[in-house]
Amino acid sequence: MHRIIAAFLAAASCVAISQAQDNIAAGQPAHAAFTLDQAVAIAGGSAPAADAAQAGIEAAQAARTVAGLRPNPQLQSQVENVIGTGPYSGVRQAETTVGLNIPIELGGKRSARIAIADAQSNRAAIVAAITQADIRLQVTALYIDAVAAERRVMTARDQFRIAKDALDAAKIRVQAGRASPLEEQRADVTKLNAEAEVQRTQRLAEAVRANLERRIGQPIAGALDVSALDHLPPAAYGPTMVASTGTLALAAADADLAIADAGVRLARSQRIPDVTVGPAVRRLSATNDTAAILSVSIPIPLFNSGRAAVAQASAQRSQAEAQRRMTVLDIDQAITDAQAEADNAATAARNASGPALAAAQEAARIARIGYREGKFGQLDLLDAERTLSQTRLAAIDALASYQNARARLERLIAPAPVQGN
């Protein structure tokens, strides 16, 4: 009778621990947990990649300012008719000219430069958004790994407690003469293996947590949100086809095409020669008179007409356009594959953490009670416990796989920033 009561108490203890884990998984921790969104926000503000992207934006803004500047004028001074022979041996016949050469850009060169700078600024903003999306994906993967590692520690501890209970039950059976000492030895080995598994999973959990802390740039004081693994779509969840339109990758390809378009415009504007106007004043030392001089110079496009530059820019534009078409195909394929991966992972996670886990828990519970009552052998108990442990770990792996697959899909379909914001 006492053994039956002890068996039911052990089963109740197992259920209580399972319910406690379920409460934690349902988002009911005793203290506020350190969430994934917090980790992403902290990492996004301190990551070197984010600093590099911000520096790229600032450089593009400075380039926009430079592109809008006009050419500098040149101050010109010259002295003629000096240090010669005869009447020009001194400086009495000197003619001193002081003037200003003012370049005048024609053909829309300045506006073309500004167009390129604007396109590059937009590209820099997209790069910054891509960087933030990549940071979120990286932090999410580390966070999910850390939560899964903590779940494995919880499972290992529970299996260790179960192994200790099994060892106690084996000792009672051996002392009562209902089993051979071999069962006690076998149970002791199982307990030692379970204890070693606890230590192994704890070390792995600490290592993954340290990597997460290193990635976000600061230590994590509280517990992680272990419920982050349990957010699954409903069973009726079906694939939602998402096109590449509006995604970050396509926006980057569009920005490259816009830069190439502006490059063609600039190359064409370069074919139109600029004019340099040079107003000056000349002083004649012989008569102490002054005279105004006005010069105009226009380069002759004899050797370099600019056609090669236009051809080069046009080819680069065609390359960017073809690359954009390739990007559309690649993104659509990647999104389709990622959707299928996420859907399959959700199905596997829903099954592993639902019916399969419940069946394994019930089988282990019956095996424990039956073993204590002498209805089942120890091998049956060990097999049931091993199946339960494997099912729990499989459920954790399936949930983590789904969360990572969903994060990769969200990265692919991440929307591009609205231009001008």
CA proximity to 68, closest of 118, 17, 122: 118
Residue 376 · residue 166 · CB < 8 Å: no
* Residue pLDDT tens, the chain, 421 long: 333 333 333 333 343 334 444 444 444 444 578 998 999 998 887 788 888 999 999 999 999 999 999 999 999 898 888 887 877 777 788 888 899 999 999 999 999 999 999 999 999 999 999 999 999 999 999 999 999 999 999 989 988 888 888 788 788 877 877 767 887 888 888 889 989 999 999 999 999 999 999 999 889 888 898 888 888 887 654 555 667 788 999 999 999 999 999 999 999 999 999 999 989 898 888 788 888 889 899 999 888 889 999 999 999 999 999 999 999 999 999 999 999 998 899 888 888 888 888 888 888 888 878 777 777 777 777 778 788 888 888 889 999 999 999 999 999 999 988 765 4
Cα(112)–Cα(103) distance, integer angstroms: 17
Using DSSP, state whether 341 is helix, strand or coil.
Answer: helix
Q: Helix crossing, 181-216 with 378-412: angle to 10°?
A: 10
Cα(290)–Cα(313) distance, integer angstroms: 49
Q: Which amino acid is at 89?
A: S
- For 182-215, the pLDDT digits (tens) are 878 888 888 899 899 999 999 999 999 999 999 9
pLDDT reported for residue 162 = 81
CATH numbers and ranges of domains, the chain: 2-70+108-240+347-408 (1.20.1600.10), 73-104+272-305 (2.20.200)
Cα(6)–Cα(165) distance, integer angstroms: 10
Q: What are phi and psi of 348, to 5 degrees?
A: -65, -40
CA atoms within 13 A on the CB side of 180: 4
Is the whole-model pTM more than 0.85? no
Q: Which residue has the tokens 């592993």?
A: 352
Please give the helix or strand (H or E) that residue 289 lies within, else none: strand 289-297
The CA-based angle 385-386-392, given to 5 degrees, is 90
